[in-house]
Structure 1
Amino acid sequence: MDDEVFTLLGWAWDVALASRLARRHPIRPAAIRTLTGIMGLIRIDPDHAATVDLTKPLLIVPLPYAPPPGNRLVIDGWHRIHRALDLGLEELPAFFLDLTDERACRLRGGDV
């Protein structure tokens, strides 16, 4: 979907651009439980989650100004995380974008 945007509170990221930028990075395993701190804020459709492809990598950006360990945000893949948790999985494949990529795909929020 070319116009997909992930929005959280006053922040937003262009997911299509993040997907293109992600191709420069290796796919690495992500420990999904460490990424679920904001899951209560994410709207999940359980029917859709049951059909997602768990081999498609998550898109994860670093959050500027946030200290570790909570400085990583999933901008694409919440339904995959939901399904993986239901199945008892601990990891999913992921692209970890860097700060330059995060800033390039951020549409609003922070000091934009």
Structure 2
Amino acid sequence: MSDEMFALLGWAWDVDLATRLARRHPVRPAAIRTLTGVKDLIRIDPDHAATVDLTKPLLVVPLPCAQPPGNRLVIDGWHRIYRALDLGLEELPAILLDPADERTCRLHGGGV
């Protein structure tokens, strides 16, 4: 079992594995507000958010059951998003995994 996992509404991803898979994908700037559709469901510790490294890329997966543009979900980086929004930033570095990598790191959900 992974040390770090992201779970949301019956879905879960192995963040450690996603981090390893992300190494083969480019880091690109991402508009933060386009990734915050589920932010009200995420529990944030503001004290921890104040200490995060905003240069570390977000990990984003494409959801197989949703159509663009709402098919992208951040599985690592919600505290960075919280801090960036608090600072008034518009973008953060991000890595978008491809559908095969998303499926590889998905632990459950989506009819696994």
TM-score class, shorter-chain normalisation, is over 0.9
Determine helix, strand or coil for the equivalent of 1:25: coil
Residue 8 of structure 1 is matched in structure 2 by 8
Alignment: residue pair count: 111
Once the two structures are TM-superposed, the CA of residue 50 in structure 1 deviates from its matched residue by 0.4
TM-score (norm 2): 0.98
Residue 65 of structure 2 is matched in structure 1 by 65
State percent identity of aligned pairs. Answer: 82
The yes-or-no answer on 1:38 pairing with 2:38 is yes
Determine helix, strand or coil for the equivalent of 2:6: strand
Q: How does 1:1-112 map to 2 (within 5 A)?
A: 3-112=3-112
User: Which stretches in structure 1 are left out of the alignment for 5+ residues?
Assistant: none
TM-score (norm 1): 0.98
Once the two structures are TM-superposed, the CA of residue 34 in structure 1 deviates from its matched residue by 0.4
Q: Which amino acid in structure 2 is aligned with residue 61 of structure 1? A: V
User: Which stretches in structure 2 are left out of the alignment for 5+ residues?
Assistant: none
Q: In structure 1, how many angstroms separate the alpha carbons of the residues matched to 2:21 and 2:111?
A: 21
Q: In structure 2, how many angstroms separate the alpha carbons of the residues matched to 1:65 and 1:79?
A: 25
